[in-house]
Amino acid sequence: MDILITALRDYFAPLGFWGILLLTICVLILSVFVAFIGDYFKLKNAITLANHNAKLAKELATKEKVEVQLGVKAELVLKHTDRKEVWLEITIINTGEITAFIKRIAALLEIDTHKIVGTDISFTPDVSELNPKKQTTIELKPHGAEYVCNLVIKRNYRFQIHEKGGVNYSKGYVELTTGKKFEFEFQLLSEKTWDAVAQPEFFGEFSGKLPHKCSGCGSVFFMRNPALIAVDGKKPYVTCPHCKHVDAL
C-alpha cells in the first residue's frame, strides 16, 4: 500500500496543484477499495463460521435426541430340565442405534404388610419385586442385540394383577442405568393350568409349545404343536436339537 502511494505521488508530482488533487482522489479511492475488500472477506469468513456452528449445533442436537430403544417381551413358559419348572422368560431386544446398559429387571408382586417378629410394629415396603438372583449391569449392543432373562416362578407368588378381556395379566419393567424404564406385561396362569402343571404326567400344550422326549437320547425339548408342523396332510416329525435324531409324531 505504501509503495503504491509513493509511486502515485512521484507520478503526479510534476503536475503541481492538479497532481496533488489527483493523488488525493486516487489515495481515497484506493483506501475505500482496500477497506471494502477487507470487510468483504471478514463478512465471508463470519458467514462461513456461523454456518459451521449452526451445522455443528444441529448435529449435536440430533445426537442428543438419540435415545435407547428397547423391545421387551415376557411370557410364562414350561421348562423341563432335571425337573419341571415354570419360568418367566423376558426377552429384551435393543432396536435402537446406541448401546443400552441395563441395571435392573423386575416383575411386580403384590405389596404386603409385614409385622416385625416379637413386636406389634408393622411395615409396608414401597415396592415388592421379583428379580434375578444376581443383578449385574448388562451391556446390550444396538441394532438387534438380544438378552433373555429367566425367572423361576412359584405358584404362591402373588403378582400384581390387571385384567384385559377377562384374562389376568401382570407387569414388570427393565430399567437402564440412566433411570429410564421400559415396562412389559405377561399373561398369568389360571388355577386350572397350575393344577395341570402340578401333575407328574403333565405334557400338555403350554405357551404355544409342547415338550417332547427324544426316543434317541432321552432329552426333553420344546417343539411346536404337531398340528402346526404338519404340511399338506403329511405326517409331522421333529428333529432333536441335541442328537439330531428324527421322531415321527
Q: What is the dihedral of CA 151, 155, 160, 165, to 10 degrees?
A: 100
Distance between CA 114 and CA 123 in Å, rounded? 5
Q: How confident is the model at residue 198 (pLDDT cuts 50, 70, 90)?
A: confident
The CATH number of the domain holding residue 80 is 2.60.40
The string of pLDDT tens digits covering residues 131-175 is 998 889 999 999 999 999 999 998 888 899 999 888 899 999 999
- Look up residue 12 and give its three cell numbers: 503526479
Distance CA 106, CA 109 (A): 9
Task: Take residue 62 and report the three cell numbers written for it.
Answer: 440430533
Residue 135: name the closest of 109, 104, 176 by CA: 104
- pLDDT of residue 112 exceeding 80, the answer is no
- Count: domains in the chain: 3
Task: Give the whole-angstrom CA distance, residue 91 versus residue 75.
Answer: 9
Q: Is residue 54 classed exposed, middle or buried when 0-12, 13-18 and 19+ CB atoms within 10 A define those classes?
A: exposed
- 209 three-state secondary structure: strand
Q: Are residues 41 and 140 in the same domain?
A: no
Confidence of residue 100 (pLDDT cuts 50, 70, 90): very high
Co-location of 195 and 212 in the same domain: no
pLDDT of residue 70: 94
β pairing state of 237-239 and 220-224: unpaired
Average pLDDT over residues 232-246: 75
pLDDT for the residue 19 = 64
Q: Among the three residues 65, 81, 106, which one is the final residue of a domain in this structure? A: 65
Predicted confidence at residue 146, as pLDDT, reads 94
At residue 47 the predicted structure's pLDDT band, cuts being 50, 70 and 90, is: confident
| Amino acid residing at 35 | A
Q: Span 36-45, mean pLDDT? A: 83
Backbone angles phi, psi at 23, to 5 degrees: -60, -45
91 and 155 inside one domain: yes
Domain extent, residue 41, equals 2-65
Per-residue pLDDT reduced to its tens digit, 14-36: 666 666 677 677 777 877 777 78
> Does pTM top 0.75 for this prediction?
no
